[in-house]
Structure 1
Amino acid sequence: MSSTFPKDFLWGGAVAANQCEGAFNVGGKGMSLADVHLYHSDQDIISHDSDMTLAQVKAAIEDKVGYYPKRHGINFYHTFKEDLKLLAEMGFKTFRTSIDWSRIFPNGDELAPNEEGLAFYDRLIDEIRSHGMEPIITMLHYETPLNITLKYGGWNNRKVVDFFARYGETLLNHFKGRVKYWIVINQINLMYHESFNSVAICADTVDNLDEAKYQAIHNQMVATALIAKKAREISPDFHMGTMLADCTAYPESCHPDDIVLAMKRNRLQYYFTDVQFRGSYPGYMNRFFVENNIDIKSQEEDAAILKENTLDFLAISYYYSSMVSAKQNGMNPIDLSKNPHLKANPWGWAVDPKGLYNALCQYFDRYQVPIMIAENGFGMYDKLEDGQVHDDYRISYLSDHIAQVKEAIKDGVDIFAYCAWGPIDIVSCSSAEMEKRYGFIYVDIDNEGKGTKQRIKKDSFNWYKKVIESNGEIL
């Protein structure tokens, strides 16, 4: 039994290109899905609704008045050297970010990459490595080029498989020897929660949206397998992973109806990784497709591609736990009940450190593959007072969750990395808020893009530095 974190454990943090880089029209970059996410002061309005329409997309492209925060981020495109220096001061062993597909192939379907885009990521990855950090790179983190939606209808079009595979192969060849860990697609299961971000389909352009989403995921899994195949041909040093947002749910009670509902709902989450680690569609999904009139168009070679090119590791994001009740909820993955035993943050996310321990053990028991915690963090409205941010609530949240990671390690779960989400404040994925903050470093920008852009260390900065120095022994 191991009672401590491994000596070579990768402590660090994670961001996404579309939430931090900005410079959306610099260096030959094309528009991506993230660039049409409008900020609303009324947070009851979610402009990137899972069922975004083609009219909304076209209106966003032409809009000269609205504010689109992900086009600007925190200007990481120009400040990454200074920002990475701050992360290095905390002792980061790893830094996870994404490469924006629309910087490399602006329209997604080009035959040759944009060299200026590759040059930017050369500078970024070399800078990460210069600080002794292991780069963890996500190939797709909600940055599908907008042209894929406008010209091809989204990921449900089989042509996109080849486009993405070309992009993936380009990255593997270009960054060979500098990047070892690759997450092909971020949170592939969030097609339920963030459909447009995930699969680039406008709801009003397909007859059967659910079928189109599952077709898109099939195409993403085939493309991922093709990239994994190419990775093994290019270098034995590559480690190829997939990523889930943990959306598994507790049953409300021990009533058999609650137990069975939770089991069936959880299988809708496991199905993505059942395919990517076991190499074929599970029987329960074949039944689900039949009973829900979903017809997946699969090419003859797809079964072999999936079977022969399973992945090496699982990356998970974990923020909160969920609960379902047979009396209140059905099979829709976003239909949940509140857990009366847990407190939530202002966005309704139930704080549950033991839920992370539970999730890690369940995934490892099921797949027996190494696990990376690719995201874990606490979003909150931080107050900047007299040049300081006292974020004890963030320290408490992260400390309690890291303690549960250690419990999983004691059980023999193979965990090799912990990436705190948003180690420097960035634009929120779901709400496009800047003021929903996760970082150890405060960035003085408000929801409308105003502010000095100054970087300020929060109390959690020095706390996380001690966590890393002690290899998780001081929490």
Structure 2
Amino acid sequence: MTNQHQALPFPRDFLWGGATSNVQAEGGIDEGGKGINVYDSLVVTPEPGVEPIYSDTAVASDHYHRYAEDIALMAQMGLKAHRFSIVWSRIFPNGDEAEPNEAGLAYYESMVDELHGHGIEPVASLLHFDMPDHLRVAYNGFASREVVDLHTRYVEAVLTRLAGKVRYWITANEINTAPLFPRLVAGSEQPDGDDPIAYQALVRHNILLAQARAALAIRDLAPDAKIGCMIYYGPSYPASSKPQDVTAARWVNDLLFHLPLDVIVRGEYPAWYPLYLKRRGVALPAQPGDVETLAAGAAVNDYIAFSYYQTGMITGPDGWGAPAAEDALVQNYFFGGEKNPHLDRTAWGWQIDPEGIRTAAASLYARYGKPVFIVENGMGVDEEPSEASGIVEDDYRIAFHTGHVEALRQAIHIDGVPVIGYLVWAPFDILSSHKEMRKRYGFIHINRTHDDLRDLARTPKKSFHWYRRVIASDGVDLGAE
């Protein structure tokens, strides 16, 4: 890694910041006209014999009531940008109303104004685990074309209100995970008896169509905006130099990551995808006009946004090329995966690989020629303040982010990648995607447990002060003290 005393600074306009999902942070579950969404209704069932340690979303981190306090703390940390999500069920509580909820629009306008008041660039996500639950129950989410239409109407309502106040827009969060985690990401569940590959192809196509229509709506209503769509990106390494392993890793990366980006950025499915479906007896579920819409949406794309947490490792199976063997590789990646012997892991089993963020940024830029924006990166830890100091002494988090910042410096200054910014997940503690309050990512501690709200006091962790020095020095000062 680069010696910090010789470190080249990051660009002066680099967007150092933080990122949250508002459904995981807000609470205020039934306030301001909000409807229940797919994250609110998600029931996390632990394995038999495991104590349930999950939370509901009634209060979460109480960001709904305390966003001004939280934004003021972000400003103290020196954040230049903050990514948040506009909760669909606050704008259309059921999703199919004729008119948007004014209280919801006013709430996010107030939040954006608060960010601007502290000199923080708003980065707004339009789909982040927040589909109105009514659309899941009544329409089966993005398995329905009607929901694509309803999503477009939601986007237009938000843009009509906020077009002049938000420059960076993200059309969807981790869109590539929709086929594998459809209930949370796409508000949909596979009907009994449906072919799983056909169902995944339908959900994948409709959510990609929805993001393309969202991009076109943003360009129409906010011509000067910067538009990107976000994927979860954790590229796989081959387990060895064995050609079979190399091919398997390439195939997994293509299906999980490059397939959606080919549509989002290039406007068309890659040549291998119709063959992949055909070998499984499935047809591409496109309707007249879809090809043109996907191409038009790609034409207005400005950047690639991605979350980065870890890398994977793949061993090629026997009988390579058989659909069952290919499908097993994907399931293995997302539901456990192989342990890389060269990497440490978090308590949740996520492989810690700072070098991988450089690989991710460089490979995406080389493939697509678009600036990249890291809009999530972080480390979840079960932690509490030290009795001696009264704060969370999270040197492990500092070490985690130090490694990733150094790798990004190399991506910029050695690989020549135009990186827009680095948004840490998360500026303050929020619920995890599976409603775990104990899985803390924040740089600010929230005083609550999974079932005891305590006083919800905000206290900066040791990493808060570290990140402030990093930002103030344009990434040169990475010292822990």
Same fold (TM over 0.5): yes
Tell whether 2:166 aligns with 1:166: no
Deviating more after overlay: 176-185 vs 212-221: 212-221
Give 1:262 deviation, angstroms.
0.6
**How many angstroms apart in 2 are the aligned matches of 1:46 and 1:110?**
40
Distance change (3 Å), C-alpha of 1:216 and 1:425: same
Report the secondary structure of 1:416's partner residue: strand
Report the secondary structure of 1:69's partner residue: coil
Q: Which residue of 2 aligns with 1:298?
A: 286
Report the secondary structure of 1:34's partner residue: coil
- Partner letter of residue 288 of structure 1? Y
Report the secondary structure of 1:82's partner residue: helix
User: Which residue of 315, 334, 339 corresponds with 2:305?
Assistant: 315
Tell whether 2:41 aligns with 1:36: yes
Distance change (3 Å), C-alpha of 1:28 and 1:45: farther
Deviations 1:291-324 (A, max 9, x none): 1233332111111111122121111101111101
Q: Which residue of 2 aligns with 1:50?
A: none
Tell whether 2:221 aligns with 1:234: yes
User: Which residue of 154, 157, 179 corresponds with 2:166?
Assistant: 179
Give 1:115 deviation, angstroms.
0.5
Report the secondary structure of 1:96's partner residue: strand
Give 1:214 deviation, angstroms.
2.1
Deviations 1:35-81 (A, max 9, x none): 1223557698799xxxxxxxxxxxxxxxxxx9742332111000001
Give 1:136 deviation, angstroms.
0.2
Mapping 1:390-429, distance limit 5 Å: 390-410=393-413, 411-429=415-433
Give 1:289 deviation, angstroms.
1.0
Distance change (3 Å), C-alpha of 1:353 and 1:105: same
Q: Does the CA contact (< 8 Å) of 1:372 and 1:417 recur in 2?
A: yes
Report the secondary structure of 2:143's partner residue: coil
Q: Which residue of 2 aligns with 1:57?
A: none
Report the secondary structure of 1:466's partner residue: helix
User: Which residue of 428, 444, 464 corresponds with 2:467?
Assistant: 464
Deviating more after overlay: 454-463 vs 443-452: 443-452
Q: Does the CA contact (< 8 Å) of 2:17 and 2:82 recur in 1?
A: yes
Q: TM-score, normalised by structure 2?
A: 0.91
Q: Does the CA contact (< 8 Å) of 1:34 and 1:71 recur in 2?
A: no
Tell whether 2:324 aligns with 1:325: no
Q: Which residue of 1 aligns with 2:4?
A: none
- Partner letter of residue 314 of structure 1? I
Deviating more after overlay: 456-465 vs 294-303: 294-303
Report the secondary structure of 1:334's partner residue: helix
Give 1:123 deviation, angstroms.
1.1
- Partner letter of residue 357 of structure 2? L
Mapping 1:123-162, distance limit 5 Å: 123-162=110-149
Q: TM-score, normalised by structure 1?
A: 0.92
Give 1:5 deviation, angstroms.
1.3
Distance change (3 Å), C-alpha of 1:457 and 1:40: farther
- Partner letter of residue 356 of structure 1? I
Mapping 1:237-276, distance limit 5 Å: 237-268=224-255, 269-276=257-264
Q: Which residue of 1 aligns with 2:348?
A: 347
Deviations 1:234-287 (A, max 9, x none): 232111111011132100001010011011111102100001111111111111
Number of positions where the alignment pairs a residue of Structure 1 with one of Structure 2: 455
Q: Which residue of 2 aligns with 1:445?
A: 448
Report the secondary structure of 2:82's partner residue: strand
User: Which residue of 212, 219, 223 corresponds with 2:199?
Assistant: 212
Report the secondary structure of 1:244's partner residue: strand
CA RMSD of aligned residues (A): 2.0
Extract unaligned runs of 5+ from structure 1: 48-65
**How many angstroms apart in 2 are the aligned matches of 1:446 and 1:300?**
51
**How many angstroms apart in 2 are the aligned matches of 1:284 and 1:138?**
30
Deviating more after overlay: 32-41 vs 456-465: 32-41
**How many angstroms apart in 2 are the aligned matches of 1:38 and 1:199?**
16
**How many angstroms apart in 1 are the aligned matches of 2:59 and 2:287?**
40
**How many angstroms apart in 1 are the aligned matches of 2:112 and 2:369?**
30
Q: Does the CA contact (< 8 Å) of 1:101 and 1:139 recur in 2?
A: yes
Give 1:447 deviation, angstroms.
1.4
Distance change (3 Å), C-alpha of 1:327 and 1:297: closer
Report the secondary structure of 2:382's partner residue: coil
Q: Which residue of 1 aligns with 2:331?
A: 334
Same amino acid, percent of matched pairs: 36
User: Which residue of 55, 61, 74 corresponds with 1:87?
Assistant: 74
Tell whether 2:277 aligns with 1:289: yes
Tell whether 2:378 aligns with 1:377: yes
Q: Does the CA contact (< 8 Å) of 2:54 and 2:450 recur in 1?
A: no
Deviating more after overlay: 14-23 vs 440-449: 440-449
**How many angstroms apart in 1 are the aligned matches of 2:144 and 2:66?**
37
